[in-house]
Chain A
Amino acid sequence: MQIKTSPQLPTKIKTYFSTLTSRGIVLSVGALLFVGVLTTVLQVNSVNELKHFADQQQSIAGDANLLNNILLATVDAETGQRGYLLTGDATYLDPYNSALPTINVDFKKLGDTSQSNQDKAAIDTLRSTVIEKMSELQSTLNVMNVSGSQAAISIVDTDKGLTLMNSIRSQIRAIEGRQNDSLNAQRVHVLGQISAYQTVLVAVRLSALAFLLTGMYLIGRLLYQRYELEKNKGEFIDIVAHQLRTPASVVKLQLGAILSGYMGKASSEQVGAIQSAYDSNEREIQIIEDVLRVAKVDNGSTVVRVKPENINKILNASIRSTAPMRELRKQNLVRDLPKKPVSVNLDAMYIQMVLENLLDNASKYSLEKTEIAVSLEFVGPWALIRIADNGVGISKRDKLKLFKKFSRIHSEISDSISGSGLGLYWSQQIAELHGGRITVQSVKGEGSTFTLVLPYGKDL
């Protein structure tokens, strides 16, 4: 024998936990994506800042090199010119002759790379001074060529050349100093930015951690509240059901005793009234029974004990126990069952209750003098017990809510039938506990076929 219980409280809590976890995972993935995107953006920004700083540093180093080249070329041109003036040897003029093209190329490069307007203006001024210096050198050479070396050297002795050269040096120093100041300011800015990004990153990570811890705390609290709620609900239903059943049982027994004549002979009017009260009480008892059965299956206290049982015997017992209602409604039942006993793994008590429920419904939701058909068929690993009627049928829309709690299908017949609306819900739960299910095929106005599908000859 195998025992299977309806989902118990821990299972229900696990299911709830699973739902919470799914939602939590979605939220966490969202939060992680947010943190990831933010982190990436901040890191990309940091790298860009550093790259920009490195580019600028490289550019300034390049400018310094070009300025140095210009200064050296100018100094070499002047030195070469002096050598020529003193010796008259034209080879001394080589540095002078090559200086101007070199200087022009370097100034062009400087113009291309210089960033600020201030730098551009300073470089233009420097270029003018260097050109003036080169013109000064050229003028002296012209004097030498016309008036001789003494006249040229006397020009050199004036401080015009020295003043221009000092001006070139100081301008270069000023440009380099400004560029270095700019670089230092940029360094401070970049370090500040990176520090700010790091602070934001730490804040984001701490926020994510706080989010995670808060989420865990909230999930834990929700689970605990749910656990308490489910536990209290189960206990509450048990107590209410017990308290309702006891007086209903007393009424049933007392009215039954009066109707059976144990308390003297009642008049026919009294018997009619008491019978009516008895029937109402019976309906109330049935509703209490249904509510309790559903409470038990929902609460995890329904235990299904499965063992090989003769399904024919159970079907016949169900047909027998539901016969009075069909007889009252003059309904005929036809059965198409295997002649030989067939063993199916099931809990006889519960499956008989399910079959009785389906047979009761077939009778209740059919007109008088109609036919109800019961058949048993085996398809693959499944035993299919079909209960077909020619009753009111069920619309497609109603089929969707058929197996839900408190679902009542409205029709001319069903509106006059009392019931809790719990029978099919409970029956479906029992079928599922057996590893099977109940299906329905129906056409409104033509009838319904309910099929109890059970695993045949295999363990749960």
Chain B
Amino acid sequence: MSLILIVEDEKPLQDVYKLVLHTHGYEILTANNGLEALDHLKSFDPELILLDINMPKMNGIEFMREFIKLKSVSAVIVLSNMSYSEQVDEVMKLGAVDNITKAKTGPAELLALVERHAGT
């Protein structure tokens, strides 16, 4: 069963992502910011990381800079508020495999995206 790490500071979003993906058989880890996510990566090796950009303490870009040093095999999908921005571009250049705009993503779109990048 695939393990997914959700890095998102908006608790309601985090909860729904978790609900939808858990319903479809994924194991879920959650982090409220980049620092917590890095902490999880010391103990776990998730298949997929759903990464928000604007977060307190350590944002998505700062997390990616640290993440690439770990040489992890986890695939990163960016969750952003903007479809096209310099921040999204930067995270994609740092190695994220895909990105989605939160405002355009319902449960079905989320599930389709995750299934594209991770097995069940």
A binds B: yes
Interface status of B23 (Cβ within 8 A of chain A):
yes
Interface of B is mostly: helix
Residues of A within 8 A of B54 (CB): 242
Interface status of B108 (Cβ within 8 A of chain A):
yes
Report how far A257 CA is from B15 CA in the complex, Å.
11
Interface status of B106 (Cβ within 8 A of chain A):
yes
Residues of B within 8 A of A272 (CB): none
B102-120 interface (Cβ within 8 A of A) = 102-108, 110
Report how far A254 CA is from B81 CA in the complex, Å.
16
Contact between chains at B106 and A256 (CB < 8 Å): yes
Interface window among A30-38, A99-107, A243-251, A308-316? A243-251
Residues of A within 8 A of B23 (CB): 262
Do A246 and B20 form a contact, CB below 8 Å, given A260-B107, A285-B103?
no
Residues of B within 8 A of A260 (CB): 20, 106-108
Which of A246, A249, A288, A301 is the most central at the interface, judged by chain B CB atoms within 10 Å of its CB?
A249
Residues of B within 8 A of A73 (CB): none
Contact between chains at A262 and B20 (CB < 8 Å): yes
Contact between chains at B82 and A292 (CB < 8 Å): yes
Interface status of B13 (Cβ within 8 A of chain A):
yes
B39-61 vs A, Cβ < 8 Å mask (1 yes, 0 no)? 00000000000000010000000
Residues of B within 8 A of A301 (CB): 86
- A39 to chain B minimum Cβ distance, whole angstroms, is 57
Report how far A288 CA is from B81 CA in the complex, Å.
11
Interface status of A289 (Cβ within 8 A of chain B):
yes
Do A349 and B84 form a contact, CB below 8 Å, given A253-B107, A262-B23?
yes
- B80 to chain A minimum Cβ distance, whole angstroms, is 10
Contact between chains at B81 and A250 (CB < 8 Å): no
Contact between chains at B105 and A249 (CB < 8 Å): yes
Residues of B within 8 A of A254 (CB): 12, 16
Interface status of B70 (Cβ within 8 A of chain A):
no
Interface status of B19 (Cβ within 8 A of chain A):
yes
* Total residue contacts A-B, CB cutoff 8 A: 59
Report how far A440 CA is from B82 CA in the complex, Å.
31
Report how far A260 CA is from B111 CA in the complex, Å.
12
A281-331 interface (Cβ within 8 A of B) = 285, 288-289, 292, 301
Interface status of B10 (Cβ within 8 A of chain A):
yes
Residues of A within 8 A of B107 (CB): 253, 256-257, 260, 262
Q: Give the contact-size bracket for chain A.
A: 20 to 34
Report how far A106 CA is from B11 CA in the complex, Å.
120
Contact with A252, one of B10, B84, B106 (Cβ below 8 angstroms): B106
Do A288 and B19 form a contact, CB below 8 Å, given A246-B10, A349-B84?
no
Residues of A within 8 A of B106 (CB): 252-253, 256, 260
Contact between chains at B19 and A252 (CB < 8 Å): no
Contact between chains at B108 and A289 (CB < 8 Å): no
Residues of A within 8 A of B19 (CB): 257, 262-263
Residues of A within 8 A of B108 (CB): 256, 260
Interface of A is mostly: helix
Contact between chains at B13 and A249 (CB < 8 Å): yes
A246-276 interface (Cβ within 8 A of B) = 246, 248-250, 252-254, 256-257, 260, 262-263
A340-356 interface (Cβ within 8 A of B) = 349
Do A253 and B16 form a contact, CB below 8 Å, given A248-B103, A260-B107, A260-B108?
yes
Report how far A70 CA is from B65 CA in the complex, Å.
115
B79: nearest chain-A partner, CB-CB: A249
Do A257 and B82 form a contact, CB below 8 Å, given A245-B102, A245-B103, A252-B106?
no
Contact between chains at A250 and B84 (CB < 8 Å): no
Residues of A within 8 A of B84 (CB): 349
- A111 to chain B minimum Cβ distance, whole angstroms, is 98
B5-25 vs A, Cβ < 8 Å mask (1 yes, 0 no)? 000001011001101100100
Do A257 and B103 form a contact, CB below 8 Å, given A246-B10, A250-B10, A349-B84?
no
Report how far A137 CA is from B105 CA in the complex, Å.
134
- B22 to chain A minimum Cβ distance, whole angstroms, is 10
Do A288 and B16 form a contact, CB below 8 Å, given A242-B54, A349-B84?
no
B22: nearest chain-A partner, CB-CB: A262
B89: nearest chain-A partner, CB-CB: A303
Residues of A within 8 A of B13 (CB): 249-250, 253
Residues of A within 8 A of B16 (CB): 250, 253-254, 257, 262
Contact between chains at B20 and A249 (CB < 8 Å): no
Residues of B within 8 A of A242 (CB): 54, 81-82
Contact between chains at B12 and A250 (CB < 8 Å): yes
Report how far A301 CA is from B54 CA in the complex, Å.
19
A263: nearest chain-B partner, CB-CB: B19
Report how far A249 CA is from B53 CA in the complex, Å.
15
- B16 to chain A minimum Cβ distance, whole angstroms, is 5
Q: A256-B106, A260-B106, A262-B23 are in contact. List 9 more A-B contacts (CB 8 A).
A: A242-B54, A242-B81, A245-B103, A246-B81, A250-B12, A253-B16, A256-B107, A257-B20, A262-B19
- Chain A residues with CB under 8 Å of chain B are 241-242, 245-246, 248-250, 252-254, 256-257, 260, 262-263, 285, 288-289, 292, 301, 349
- Chain B residues with CB under 8 Å of chain A are 10, 12-13, 16-17, 19-20, 23, 54, 81-82, 84, 86, 102-108, 110
Q: Please provide the 9 A-B residue pairs with the shortest distance between their CB atoms, ordered closest to farther.
A: A256-B106, A249-B102, A253-B16, A250-B12, A285-B103, A249-B103, A245-B81, A260-B107, A256-B107
